[in-house]
Amino acid sequence: MSLTSRLLRVCGVAAVLPALAVAQPVPRAFTGATLIDGTGRTPVTNATLLVRDGRIVAAGPAARVTIPANAERVPLAGKVIIPGLINAHGHASSVANLRTYAAYGVTTVYSLGDESPDVFAARDAQRTTAPSHARVYVAGPVLNPSSPDDARAQVAAVADRKVDIVKIRVDDNLGTAPKMKPEIYRAVIDAAHARGLRVAVHLYYLDDAKDLLAAGADYIAHSVRDKAVDADFTRQLVQSKVCYSPTLMREVSTFVYESTPPFFKDSLFLAHANREWMATAQQPARQEATRTSASAQRYKAQLPLAMRNMKALHQAGVPIAMGTDTGPVGRFQGYFELMEIEMMVDAGLTPTQALQSATRDAARCLKLDADLGTLEAGKVADFVVLDASPLERISNIRKQHSVWIGGVRVGAGH
């Protein structure tokens, strides 16, 4: 039974890095593992991954990689190495959040809104020093201007904070709140582009998505959920090369706590889960409120449509970037990204395609692919060691042995 089916049954029914500081004093050679490098090439058995100063020196068959005499060897026979996972839509309000992401193999997070000063500081520090937590990129405050003039002023303010992207919401929360007017979001997009910044958009409706693309939006940060995507929208995305982040687990989070979800018993989940969130989710009153929530039931009903839309867009050639919208209460950072990848397979992607959406394709969508997303010579040495191949069974993405950022281990094995 697929992950999506299990979740629905329980409830009744996803910038170039400068040179890094020295990550280790001597080269480090990871030997004997199967290497899935993220490029789409056939996995390499008995591979060697050679790392020096936080970057990959060589990656490939052991017979083709020369290990220096002074290298530290890390034997990984029987294991599988994959690129570090990239969450193209998360939220980090603290450095502790970044450590949690990393503990589950999410080595880079594009945080789309409301980061704390210490997260900004972590973003700045990673430019010169390999972090001991997930790398992070920031959007600053989610903009909510009241007029075109206010839009230009708010863009100027976040640009002054050196954000990596601008984030706006164009959504009425299922008819319960005012929606940003077109003349305002057009002013945001124009002002951001004038300052060399891209714009990520939270949305729900297909018609809004079409108009936002026409206005120049650079990144669709949620699924279209009100109706099936059509040929016009698909053509807009393909021609513009704008990426699409499905955030399927965002939808799951709205209804899955009608009862206690099965993943609350997973040892990997429990290793780093926020126990306060778990306690809140298991309160009888909270579960009853979820069962009777009209919005939760609507989000649950439209999840299959969101999954079909993602598959249709992927088949048409639209780049899909794994994202989850994790960060708010109940959206468990790090673990939900693993579930998102599984759900993408449930939706019709192959394990290879789903893994690439969380590595190579996410890096390309975020303009980070010069350094991240694949395990090739010259790239940053961010990777996850697994006990079994996710290409054989996508749930093996949870069988994590260790996580490495800049060639340095940052999490305990499981």
- Lowest mean pLDDT: which of 1-5, 95-99, 273-277, 400-404? 1-5
Average pLDDT, the chain: 95
Residue % of the chain over a pLDDT of 70 = 94
Quickly list DSSP for 140-190: -SPB--SSHHHHHHHHHHHHHTT-SSEEEEE--TTTTS----HHHHHHHHH
Give the model's pLDDT for residue 235. Answer: 98
Domain membership of residue 45 (yes or no) is no
Domain membership of residue 329 (yes or no) is yes
Domain membership of residue 211 (yes or no) is yes
Report the number of distinct structural domains present in the chain: 1
Interval 212-223 mean pLDDT: 98
Task: Supply 28's token pair.
Answer: 């480090």
Domain membership of residue 128 (yes or no) is yes
pTM as predicted: 0.94
pLDDT at 16 over 60: no
Beta carbons of 201 and 170 less than 8 angstroms apart: yes
Q: Which amino acid is at 269?
A: F
CA–CA dist 323, 402 (Å, integer): 22
- Residue with tokens 């068959």, as numbered in its chain: 61
pLDDT at 161 over 50: yes
Residue 41's Cα: distance from chain center in Å?
22
Give the model's pLDDT for residue 3. Answer: 80
The range of the structural domain enclosing residue 207 comes to: 3-15+85-372
pLDDT confidence of 19, banded at 50, 70, 90?
very low
pLDDT at 22 over 70: no
Domain membership of residue 397 (yes or no) is no
Q: What is the CATH number of the domain that holds 228?
A: 3.20.20.140
pLDDT, tens digit, 9 for 90 and up, residues 218-275: 999 999 999 999 999 999 999 999 999 999 999 999 999 999 999 999 999 999 999 9
Beta carbons of 29 and 72 less than 8 angstroms apart: yes
Domain membership of residue 28 (yes or no) is no
Kindly give, in sequence order, each residue whose CB lies less than 8 Å from that of residue 82, ignoring residues fewer than 6 positions away: 36, 38, 355, 359, 375, 383, 384, 386, 390
Give the model's pLDDT for residue 21. Answer: 42
pLDDT at 11 over 70: no
pLDDT at 139 over 90: yes
Domain membership of residue 408 (yes or no) is no
Task: Supply 273's token pair.
Answer: 């889960």
Give the model's pLDDT for residue 8. Answer: 67
pLDDT confidence of 4, banded at 50, 70, 90?
confident
Residue 395, classed as helix, strand or coil, is helix
